[in-house]
Amino acid sequence: MSYRKFIVGLLIGASAIGSALAQQVTRIVVPFAAGGGTDQYCRILAQELSKRGTNVIIENRPGASGIIAADYVARAKPDGQTVLVSSLGTLANNSVLYEKLPYDPVKDFAPVTQIAYQPAIIVGRADLPYKNIKEMVEYAKKNPGKINRGSPGAAILTNLAPMVFEKNAGISATHIPFNGDTPAVQALLGDQIDIHGTSITGSLPYIKAGKLRVLGVMDTKRLPQVPDAPTFQEQGHDMVATLWYSLSVPAATPRDAIDRLNKAVNQVIADPEFVARARAIGMEPRGGTPEELSKFVKVESDRWLPVLQSLNLPKQAH
């Protein structure tokens, strides 16, 4: 073999290897705008996965309560390299809230693992005439139609749980949905809305700066990040709502590809250093098997779908 042919062979081989490596990038598709709590957590997860040999990038596809991202992943090549950050909204609630979905929440996805959870909260501007949920209810009853409430999307639990609470409390807020937590928090800071259903992650810096205040925590215990913020239960309202996040892939994805991703993710979220980083932004890592995730989604669907149906909400076009 001539020297020239040898070099050409090396270049061709290197090109093939480079192409193969490029194809091995795993895209985790986040259905919210960059900067929000879910996005922050997934970027930390992606960093750690990449350090351990699973090359991961984050791709944000916000809009329509997760429908845009879910439809994109449902149609992706089922090779385990396009992954949806899924939740109650994309896997269940959208089927009740929208007239027709471009994807089937049950048939089009295969479960991989849970990745985290956190309680829902309601935050408000520091200049509001009420400092907690109890005072907000009193204000809303005296001033009907005066409260504008934001959310990261219509089908997201941080909209649905406040809706249930408002119905039970006998008050009504005007709901204004956004394409994720970040634009909603910015609208809150800009006085465009009064309160916002969210999680602690995206709003924590503004709470620490004194610009926002947690009015109530939808959990049985207070959040360690804001120990002065009372729970809904402490304020006389029995409302517990936990946000959870998981990973799903296109339904035809081979089981070995699912198992590889499951193993890699569970190794990361069990690492004490990762857990500490997650808790610092208000996330509690939680993993598990694909089967455990499937059962969990069923339990959550059975809990929340009847609640949604009882609200008799008009179905939306996406």
Domain boundaries, the chain: 25-118+242-310, 122-235
Q: Which CATH class is domain 25-118+242-310?
A: alpha beta
What's the rounded mean pLDDT across residues 78-104? Answer: 94
Of 64-68, 239-243, 305-309, which range is least confident? 305-309
**Lowest-pLDDT range, 34-38, 250-254, 255-259, 290-294?**
34-38
Residue 22 has a pLDDT of 46
Q: Is the pLDDT of residue 300 over 80?
A: yes
Burial of 186 (0-12, 13-18, 19+ CB in 10 A): middle
Phi, psi of 180 (to 5 degrees): 120, 175
Q: What confidence category does residue 19 fall into, taking pLDDT thresholds of 50, 70 and 90?
A: very low
Collapsing DSSP to helix, strand or coil, 247 comes out as strand
The pair of three-digit structure tokens given for residue 304, joined into one six-digit string: 């929340």
Tens of pLDDT, residue by residue over 112-129, are: 999 999 999 999 999 999
CB 34 within 8 Å of CB 123: no
What phi, psi does 95 have (nearest 5°)?
-65, -25
Tokens of 231: 């729970």
* 304 vs 311: CA distance, rounded Å: 11
Q: Are 62 and 31 in contact, with CB atoms under 8 Å apart?
A: yes
For tokens 């390299």, the residue is 81
Round the average pLDDT of the chain to a whole number and report it.
91
Average of pLDDT values for 214-221? Answer: 96
Residue 48 has pLDDT above 50, yes or no: yes
Res. 4: pLDDT tops 80: no
In eight-state DSSP terms, residue 34 is T
- Which CATH homologous superfamily contains domain 122-235? Periplasmic binding protein-like II (3.40.190.10)
With beta carbons less than 8 A apart as the criterion, state whether 148 and 222 touch. Answer: no
- With a cut of 50, say whether residue 238 has pLDDT above it: yes
What pLDDT band is residue 20 in, cutting at 50, 70 and 90? very low
Phi, psi of 243 (to 5 degrees): -80, 135
Q: Is 50 exceeded by the pLDDT of residue 6? A: no
pLDDT of residue 154: 81
Predicted local distance difference test score (pLDDT) of residue 314? 80
What pLDDT, on a 0 to 100 scale, did the predictor assign at position 317? 74
Global pTM?
Answer: 0.81
Note the Cα 74 to chain centre separation in Å. 17
What is the model's pLDDT at position 1? 55
Please compute the mean of the pLDDT values over residues 25-53 and round it to a whole number. Answer: 95
Q: What is the pLDDT of residues 151-200, one digit of tens each?
A: 988 878 899 899 999 999 999 999 999 988 899 999 999 999 999 999 99
The per-residue pLDDT for 21 is 44
Q: Given this model, what pLDDT does residue 14 score?
A: 46
Per CATH, 25-118+242-310 and 122-235 having the same topology is answered yes
